[in-house]
Amino acid sequence: MNTEIRFSGFGGQGIIRCALITGKALSLYDDKFATMTQAFGPEARGSACSAQLVVSDEKVLYPYITAPAVLMALSQEAYEKYHGEVIEGGTLIVDADLVKTREEHPGRTLWKVPATRFAEELGNRMFTNLVALGFFAAVTGVVSDAAMKQALPGLVPDRFLKINIKAFEKGYMHGLEVTKLDTAEVPAA
Amino acid sequence: MTEATLKADPKGVLTGVHFIDGDHAACEGALAAGCRFVAGYPITPSTEIVERFAARIPKVGGVFIQMEDELAASIAIQGGVWAGHKVMNVTSGPGLSLMMEHLGYAAMTETPCVWVDVQRGGPSTGLPTLPAQADMMQVKWGSHGDYEIIALSPNSPQECFDLMIKAFNLSEEYRCPVFLMMDEVVGHMTERVNIPPADQIEITDRKWTKKKPGEYKAYATTSDDLVPEMVKAGDGYRIHVTGLTHDERGYPAMDVPNQAKLIPRLLNKIRNNTEQLLDVRMDGCDDADVIVMSFGITSRVATAAIEAARAKGLKVGNLRLIICWPFPVKLIQQLAEKVKAFVVPELNMGQMVLEVRRAVEGKVKVISIPHPGGTVHEPETILEQIIEAAR
């Protein structure tokens, strides 16, 4: 069974990096198969940015995502563009301060994480993606936190490794806390 | 065969497990295979290969040159070969069209080199950032005159690494252009890639002559071995390399007897070895009613369709070409004795299916599943045709 994930936001938020870190964590350290694709065409220009990951216990045959179970949207535009494709039982993760969710998402779990705010508290909003990734790992359970931390060297600059791990842990701990508070909203699958 | 097998030079081998895309993996394959010179004119979706090569090669020890155009790139690499280097030519369809003259030159002068075509939608500039498999006939027939090439088709970043090494080894063994026929999906998809230690990577050395200057003839061959021995410039041998029809010394000899000797040899050094050059993956073909033949990224989507068809109780064989050229005519003919039909999905409007039809000579049904490119087939589309073929 495949799990399809879309990471989205605007250019500069480290969206592609989110998919690279998660894909590397899964396929090198969590014993899964992960195939990552990203848009390269005109649709990749301008402000919107998206990277896709197909995760499986077996070799991935179809490279693209068709029915994402998880959407991370760190910008309003990304949320508007992609929220409709999340499957029933799926999960939406949005930045609490940057994305206004207009509607209910029946049958889906919506999480709002103050990723940008937390990153600013850590000293720089460039750590937003790692806060969001930590939260993502905690609430979805798709990937282990140990594998994610193992995947970071080489994908973030060495001099920022420690602070990125800190950002990941901040998001991860927040994710664990909110899931404890809100267990009823956690999807069964 | 007389070439020596060596182990890879550790300087070029990035041993370890990586999460990289097919373009980057292809570059690492070339470096592991010993490629130390690239003259490039970068083009989407192959750019990352030369970008990485340009970044890596100063540390490995070699040269990258950005050339003024595709003609210059595709001939400068051949100069590098005659200076003793292993080289690669990296491009996509529009660039490849411009390089066709020098493809013929490499075939005629028996210059061992690897040509990477990361295929995108065409014709012309077409779809720069989206996939196709529509250059399959171009690499076989695109340059004028009669010639043979070898072409391999990877379906994952891991295979971009593995088959790149194989491509380099074959180019040395047969002294002909060898193509790595990637596509935009395989080039840009990121997956786990395992790069083994250098001492586990076998490298075919150039077929260097042991003859002395004066004894050596650049294009002398025997009836047992149609591949001539090689030297490099600067070693004291007087050599002449030309695209004109030449004699054993390499000198222009533009007459009927020399043409009649040279051209069949250029073809037969490949055609006589089609058995050794058979590289396919077969699964469930022995008792199949229908065989799906595919290559490259389409082979992954086809496998999904085949699994779905088998779940419905159909006997479907999965035949995947790793080496597309030379085409496995005999294998297809043997399979045609046993099956009802072949189904051939490919990201073009029907190219390699023509080879299947030519091989089976009307004995069984051959169903083409064409696609103009830009994305991959939906597995359901292939499944429908498998069901139709099994009727």
- pLDDT at site A183: 52
- pLDDT at site A45: 64
- For tokens 């890879």, name the residue: B8
Asked if pLDDT for residue A36 goes beyond 90, the answer is: yes
Each residue's pLDDT tens digit, B109-166 = 999 999 999 999 999 999 999 999 999 999 999 999 999 999 999 999 999 999 999 9
Asked if pLDDT for residue B281 goes beyond 90, the answer is: yes
- Per the structure, the count of domains in chain A is 1
**Beta strands B202-204 and B5-7: pairing type?**
antiparallel
Q: State the Cα–Cα distance between residues A97 and A125, nearest whole angstrom.
A: 13
Q: Using CB atoms, which residue from B19, B188, B379 is nearest to A40?
A: B188
DSSP B77-144: HHHHHHTT-EEEEEE-HHHHHHTHHHHHHHHHHT--EEEEEEEEE-STT-EEEEE--TTHHHHHHSSS
- pLDDT at site A98: 96
CATH number for the domain harbouring residue A11: 3.40.920.10
* A63/chain B closest Cα distance in angstroms: 8
A48 or B238, greater pLDDT: B238
Q: Using CB atoms, which residue from B19, B130, B375 is nearest to A28?
A: B19
Please tell me if the domain spanning B5-204 has the same topology as the one spanning B280-390: yes
- pLDDT at site B196: 98
Q: Where are the domains of chain B?
A: 5-204, 280-390
Q: State the Cα–Cα distance between residues B192 and B162, nearest whole angstrom.
A: 13
Please enumerate in sequence order all residues whose Cβ is within 8 A of that of A23, keeping only pairs 6 or more positions apart, or say none.
A34, A35, A36, A53, B19, B190, B191
Which residues make beta-bridge pairs with B121? B127
Pick the CATH number of B280-390 from 3.40.50.10490, 3.40.50.920, 3.40.640.10, 1.10.287.110: 3.40.50.920
Where does B5-204 sit in CATH, by number?
A: 3.40.50.970
Q: Using CB atoms, which residue from A27, A41, A44 is nearest to B19?
A: A27
What percent of chain B has a predicted confidence (pLDDT) above 90?
Answer: 99
Q: Domain for residue A23, yes or no?
A: yes
Q: Domain for residue A136, yes or no?
A: yes
Each residue's pLDDT tens digit, A70-116 = 999 999 999 999 999 999 999 999 999 999 997 789 999 999 999 99
Q: Which domain holds residue A58?
A: 3-184
Contact A61 B192 (CB under 8 A): no
Each residue's pLDDT tens digit, A157-187 = 999 999 999 999 999 999 999 998 865 444 4
Q: Domain for residue A64, yes or no?
A: yes
User: Contact at 8 Å (CB) between B175 and B112?
Assistant: yes
Hey, is A26 helix, strand or coil? Answer: helix
- pLDDT at site B18: 98
Q: Domain for residue A189, yes or no?
A: no
Q: Which amino acid is present at B293?
A: M
- pLDDT at site A44: 65
Q: C-alpha B146: how far from its chain's center? A: 18
A180 or A17, greater pLDDT: A17
ω into B42 cis (within 30 of 0): no
Q: Mean pLDDT score of chain A, rounded to an integer?
A: 92
**Residue of A61, A66, A152 best to disrupt the B interface, most CBs of B under 10 A:** A61
A residues 89-128 near B, CB within 8 Å? Answer: none
Q: State the Cα–Cα distance between residues B174 and A66, nearest whole angstrom.
A: 44
- pLDDT at site A189: 36
Each residue's pLDDT tens digit, B172-211 = 999 999 999 999 999 999 999 999 999 999 999 999 999 9
Cα dihedral across residues B71, B73, B74, B79: positive or negative: positive
